[in-house]
Amino acid sequence: MTRRRRRWRHGLLLTLAAIYSVFPIYFITVQSLKTAQEDVFGSPWYVARPSFENYTELFEGGEARVRGYVIVPRVPFLQWVGNSLSVLLLTLGLTLVAGVLAAYALGRLQPPGWWWWRRVLFATYVIPHTILFIPIYQVVIALGLDNEHLALVLIYSTMALPFCVWILSAFYRHLPREIEDSALIEGATPATAFVRIMLPMSRNVLVAAGLFTIGTVGNDFMLASIFLLDPEKQTVAAGLGVMDVSLAELLAVAGVNLAAIPVALVCAAFARDYVRGLTAAMVEGA
């Protein structure tokens, strides 16, 4: 009896956690599917007659148009999606390559002072980039990356790297040394031993680092809208982020939603490996 009741309570709490987590996303999606009329007279909780106007609007392209009393700005949405994708992939590539190299050095080779290097690198995570953006802009201009995707790629990488290096180096540090040594005895070079044996073993940790990077990129719209001003070069976040907080907002919701769904699906597909990766990095202490 009590056991049954406990199971019920557990199920109830799980349901609550799920509703609490999903509700805001559900809510805004509902609003983005409403016609103006239903927005005013309908119920906030659901949509009776869904209209995909906000979504189809994104693909019209071309010039600014008038819809009702609202001027709908020009939205080269597909181009923005392409830009976002290239920024995301470049950031992922750069972060993971630089992260793995550094993590191997810090976790396995452990040169003198590695302990402090690891901490210094991790401590940079608390530096808020948004506050530093004036001098960062100076750096970007000095590098000639003004209005270039590479500027965002560099900045995002510096935001994601501290955490990625931290978990990857924790994993390599705790990986039994014999695994690598046996490969070396077989005559493999350290590089092949790493690529063929250690790298595959750290797959889940790499997934964790990768998803963290995706989360970092996906969360930003401030930096994107500061550094990318040319509409042709903007990412989804930058393009929609600079739109006025006004009537057009639901268009922004539709846009980010559309761009977010594939990201959320990728995250969902790898969610389990993400946890496994974090766990693998955390065994024997953080």
Partner 1 sequence: MSAPRVVGGRSPVVAYALMAPALVLVLGVLAYPIAWEAWISLTNFSSRAEGGPVFVGLANYRNMVREAIFWRGVGITVAYFAITTIAKLGLGVAMALLLAKPSRGRALVFLAVFLPWAYPGGVTVIAWYWMLNPPLITSYSVLAGNLKYAVDGWLGGGAYAFASVVLFNIWRGGSFTAIFLLAGLNAIPTELFEFAELETRSPWQRFCRVTLPLLKPYMALAVFLSFTTAFADLANVWMLTGGRIIFPVLGTYAYWLGIRSGQFAEAAAYSLSLVPLLVAALVVLFRWFDPRPEEAA
Q: Which of residues 255-274 bind partner 1 (CB under 8 A)?
A: 256-257, 259-260, 263-264, 267-268, 271, 274
Q: Of the candidates 124, 141, 203, 232, which one interacts with partner 1 according to CB under 8 A? A: 124
- Residues 62, 87, 195, 166, CA torsion sign: negative
Candidate segments 11-19, 48-56, 62-70, 75-83, binder of partner 1 by CB under 8 A: 11-19
Q: Does 54 bind partner 1 (CB under 8 A)?
A: no
Q: How many chain residues touch partner 1 (CB under 8 A)?
A: 106
Choice between 153 and 233, CB closer to partner 1: 153
Residue 221 CB, nearest approach to partner 1 (Å): 4
Q: Which helix (H) or strand (E) holds 21?
A: helix 2-32
Closest CA to 152 of 212, 73, 249, 218: 218
Q: Does 1 bind partner 1 (CB under 8 A)?
A: no
Q: Which residues lie closer than 8 Å to 260 by C-beta, 6 or more apart?
A: 218
Q: Of the candidates 2, 3, 5, 21, which one interacts with partner 1 according to CB under 8 A? A: 21
Residue 165 CB, nearest approach to partner 1 (Å): 6
Classify residue 228 by its DSSP letter: -
Q: Of the candidates 154, 175, 207, 209, which one interacts with partner 1 according to CB under 8 A? A: 154
Q: Which helix (H) or strand (E) holds 71?
A: strand 70-72
Task: Please report, as residue ranges, which positions from 208 to 227 form the binding site for partner 1 (by CB under 8 A).
Answer: 211, 214-215, 218-222
Triad 128, 89, 61: Cα angle to 5°: 95
Choice between 149 and 218, CB closer to partner 1: 218
The pair phi, psi for residue 67, each rounded to 5°, is -130, 110
Closest CA to 158 of 124, 115, 189: 124
Q: Does 109 bind partner 1 (CB under 8 A)?
A: yes
Q: Does 31 bind partner 1 (CB under 8 A)?
A: yes
Q: Which helix (H) or strand (E) holds 204?
A: helix 203-219
